């Protein structure tokens, strides 16, 4: 199995069970080894009292992209610590895109950066996640050809 096939299969397995990302309205984009992209169109129920996208929704989008990137090698991996900086508001009706890129992987610990952008390319938020590999895999590769 190639790294790209492994990443695609890992993403498919995760997406099938990811009720939270689907509930938010996210759509899974491209996943490669150490990278992932997801999108979310900001709907009225995503907006806060200021009429802009709630920070928790933006965090969830970035966190989901982080998760798909971290698990792209078929090694069960979870978040250990995350940080986000909000730079611009997400607006009602626009599609936000979260692009995750692994910055470093040492043993069981990974560092992944996620950039969330708006329709016009402006940076909405910068997210950095620290991940930790745990025992287990997403699927059994023993039977894969």
pTM score, two decimals? 0.95
What is the rounded CA–CA span in Å between residue 51 and residue 3?
Answer: 42
- Parallel/antiparallel/unpaired status of strands 77-86 and 123-133: antiparallel
What is the rounded CA–CA span in Å between residue 31 and residue 12?
Answer: 10
Q: What is the pLDDT of residue 145?
A: 44
Q: Residue with structure tokens 């992944």? A: 112
Domains, the chain, in order of start with CATH, read 3-139 (3.10.129.10)
The predicted-structure confidence for 39-92, as pLDDT tens digits, reads as follows 999 999 999 999 999 999 999 999 999 999 999 999 999 999 999 999 999 999
């Amino acid at each position: 199995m190639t790294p790209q096939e492994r990443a695609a299969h890992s993403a498919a397995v995760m997406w099938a069970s990811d009720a939270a990302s689907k509930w938010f309205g996210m759509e899974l984009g491209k996943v490669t080894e150490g990278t992932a992209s997801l999108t979310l169109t900001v709907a009225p129920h995503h907006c806060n009292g200021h009429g802009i996208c709630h920070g928790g929704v933006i965090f969830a989008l970035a966190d989901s992209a982080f998760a798909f990137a971290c698990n792209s090698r078929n090694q069960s991996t979870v978040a250990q610590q995350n940080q986000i900086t909000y730079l611009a508001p997400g607006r009602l009706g626009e599609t936000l895109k979260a692009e995750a890129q692994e910055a470093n992987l040492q043993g069981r610990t990974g560092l992944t950066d996620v950039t969330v952008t708006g329709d016009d390319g402006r940076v909405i938020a910068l997210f950095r996640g620290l991940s930790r590999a745990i025992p287990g895999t997403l699927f059994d590769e023993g039977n894969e050809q």
